[in-house]
Amino acid sequence: MKHHKLKYLILFMLWCALPLASYAQTLSMASDGIADFLKEEQRMEVRRHPQASRGDSVELKTMHITLSEAGTLEAALGDDIERVDSLFVSGPVNADDIKTMWKSTFYGYVSYLNLQDADIEGKKIPEWAFFDSSEQLNGSLYLIGLKEIVLPDNLEEIDDCAFYEAKLLEEISMPSSLKRIGQYAFWYCEKLKTDPLILPNGIKTIEAMSFNHCISLNEVILPEFVERIEGGAFQGSGYTGVSSIHFPETLQSIGLAAFSSTRLKTLAIPGNCEFPDYWHFARCYQLTEVFIADGVKIIPNNFLYECSAITQLRIPGSVTTIGKEAFSGLRSLENLYLEEGLYEIGDKAFSSCHLKQIVLPSTLSSMGNNSFSGNSKLERIYCKATIPPVQSTAFGDSRKDVPLYVPAGSADAYRNATGWSMFTNIIETDSFPTSGAIDITVDARPADGAKYDMTGRRIENPAKGQIYIQNGKKYIQQD
């Protein structure tokens, strides 16, 4: 039942990254009253519980408690449960003890919790461990006071919603033994700022919404062998959220809006990665450079929608399809070179950019409606295809006198083709641009010197097909 409900939580809460039409569709899919619950929660006043806001009248202290039997923490704390601000717990711990910890940080003053030497039942922080809707949702959204937690050295799992709405949580340790972080585990932990946040190598999947709206995060270091990053995992808000991340070669999938509205500045996508759904990196307003490695075949809808600061974009020849509005709103991008191998460009794929030059490959066969509309600064178009790609309104409101360069002997075909016939300045040529606007050095044997990935981390064993920086220059590793 819990996974059924979480599925609909994910569907509903991702509406904030979607246009209104998609929002209506997503909202209609919610059930069991979950949508109404979440909408109500978002309207609530957020504050500490009155009992935990009595001022400085309580003399606070640090307590070290070693339990010999699980379930006895409340008795061990006694009347001190509301007089402690730093709590160290060791020994066997069960769900009842976790509930006592929640009480101590909700009704009391515990802001620092150290469980390094605790042995938690099942080696797991249970679901909803530090959130109780029956107590915390009562006209207002009442917060726990937890600011820092040290997890046990042998912990293997943080279950779904474990630190849900822990808005004051700033620091957390992630033990190397950890194998799973559940859905919504750190949902809306807005002050979580562990920098860098290092996720242990035992984790293979970053689950849906797990760090959603953790808007104070900076650098995140993913597990070395991570395979999947699911929907909304690191979704931010506006100019907030993750600013630096490196994707390992093992990454196979990035889900719906996983990094939308974050502070990412550079992005290097590995060639094995696929993109179910859409909006993966939409509205990352500080993103300036994007490099997609050979191997990626499909660029999905709204992939980099409104990433308005992008000046460098590399799309490899392995890409056959570019989805709808995939690169719409890239207003800082001036030059676009599309590699041989591309067959289809979707509706509005490059609309509302500020492109000056477009180079289309000979393999291109179709272009969607308004795929290049709204490019008011367009100075020239090159299309290498001898047979005009099928399109009717691909260039929308573009000026009719923009020079259109086509292969020798094909001008008449373009003049008579739907959509292309709008251009009045069609020029035949045998000379087309041979490289893109991005200055990348391809070097099978780069000169000696330190190698760095796109986030600035030094790399000892560079992977084939990935983009690195050496001696101040970008290059693609060839062997």
Q: Is 251 left (phi over 0), alpha (psi -120 to 50) or beta?
A: beta
Partnered with residue 197 across adjacent β-strands are 220
**So what's the pLDDT on residue 449?**
67
Ranges of each domain in the chain: 2-43, 288-435, 441-476
In this prediction, residue 434 carries a pLDDT of: 80
Tell me the one-letter amino acid at 261.
S
Report d(CA 336, CA 203) in Å as an integer.
38
Distance CA 77, CA 352 (A): 62
CATH topology of domain 288-435: 3.80.10
Q: Which residues pair with 64 in a beta bridge?
A: 88
Distance CA(380)–CA(200), nearest Å, equals 49
Residues 217, 189: Cα–Cα separation, whole Å: 10
State residue 46's pLDDT score.
Answer: 66
Q: What is the pLDDT of residue 193?
A: 95
pLDDT digits (tens, 9 = 90+) for 47-88: 565 566 554 566 789 999 999 999 999 999 998 888 899 999
Q: Which of 277, 274, 288, 316 is nearest to 466 (CA)?
A: 316
DSSP-derived pairing of the beta strands 441-442 and 266-269:
unpaired
pLDDT at 471: 59
Query: How many beta carbons lie within 10 A of that of residue 378, not counting itself?
Result: 19
- Give the residue among 277, 275, 282, 278 at the shortest CA–CA distance from 241: 282
Give the per-residue pLDDT at 330: 97
What are the b/e assignments for 435-462, b being 16+ CB within 10 Å?
ebbbeeeeeeebeeeebebbbeeebeeb
R_g over Cα of the chain = 27
Whole-Å CA distances, 249 to 65, 82, 269, 461:
44, 49, 9, 12
The pLDDT tens digits along the chain (479 residues) read 444 444 444 444 444 444 433 433 332 333 233 334 444 455 456 656 556 655 456 678 999 999 999 999 999 999 888 889 999 999 999 999 999 999 999 998 999 999 999 999 999 999 999 999 999 988 788 999 999 999 999 999 999 999 999 999 999 999 999 999 999 999 999 999 999 999 999 999 999 999 999 999 999 999 999 999 999 999 998 778 899 999 999 999 999 999 999 999 999 999 999 999 999 999 999 999 999 999 999 999 999 999 999 999 999 999 999 999 999 999 999 999 999 999 999 999 999 999 999 999 999 999 999 999 999 999 999 999 999 999 999 999 999 999 999 999 999 999 999 999 999 999 999 999 986 444 443 333 344 567 666 545 567 777 665 666 665 556 666 66
Mode of pairing for the β-strands spanning 140-143 and 148-150 = unpaired
> What six digits make up the tokens of 149?
């937690």
DSSP 209: T
Predicted confidence at residue 438, as pLDDT, reads 41
